[in-house]
Amino acid sequence: MEISASTRLLAVIGDPVTHSLSPAMHNAALRALGLDAVYVALPTPADALPPVLAALAVVGGSGNITVPHKEAAERCLARKTDLCARVGACNTFWTERGELVGDNTDVPGVLACLRQLGVDGARRWLLVGTGGAARAVAVAAAELQAEVHPARGALEPEVAINATPLGLKETDPLPLDPARTERLSAALDLVYCRGGTPWVRALRAAGIPAHDGREMLVQQGIAAFGRFFPGHAPPVEIMRAAVNRALRA
């Protein structure tokens, strides 16, 4: 891919962000479709978020927001979708007429993952976390008319979801002890890492079906790609293969 003055810039913004596989996933999609664009990672401390987003708006940039900036990014937008406003957090943005527009594609990502696990009909969810990703989980639960309980308040949950960064490091404590959830049908960890997160490995060892965040990344990425390039169908299998390949490397 040759980069020129006409190449469109896309970026994932976070702190930390070097672990993100969004560049690998989206660049694979861009190459497959022959689009003149490049996707990069921009490590951005909290105080730099507003000027970085403002600069991207000036150059017509688009991209994604990851931890810990999703809620702060929502306040930097000129316009936002109804879903973004409901969540109070932005993970996807693009530029229209020099203004930043934001959406939240974490919600459809969560819904798609739970459908794959076969538990989108579950009515009792246990949620670990309170940030932007947790807000998206709560809105997803509302769409399915499910009850959401915090980690210490759930009674016999059917689904458990980790919406914290726990698991990025092998030494992190587990978000929830699998032994505490005797009737759990399935679990979703929004974190991903090579070999699977310690929590997902522990859940599977206990016989509980669980997905880590790689499919969540793909599903929210599919929705985001539609915002970045509305005239192009996202190459789903190429995006999924790029993520899986990066996690095997």
| Residue positions annotated with a catalytic role | 70
Distance CA 92, CA 45 (A): 18
| Residue 107 near residue 136, CB atoms below 8 Å | yes
Closest listed residue to residue 218, CA positions, set 195, 196, 234, 201: 234
Distance CA 108, CA 113 (A): 9
Tokens of 211: 């997905």
**Alpha helices (H) in the chain, listed in sequence order:** 22-33, 49-58, 70-74, 82-87, 106-117, 132-143, 198-205, 214-228, 236-248
| Residue 184 near residue 160, CB atoms below 8 Å | yes
The amino acid that residue 192 corresponds to is Y
| Residue 199 near residue 189, CB atoms below 8 Å | yes
| Residue 91 near residue 83, CB atoms below 8 Å | no
Distance CA 177, CA 152 (A): 12
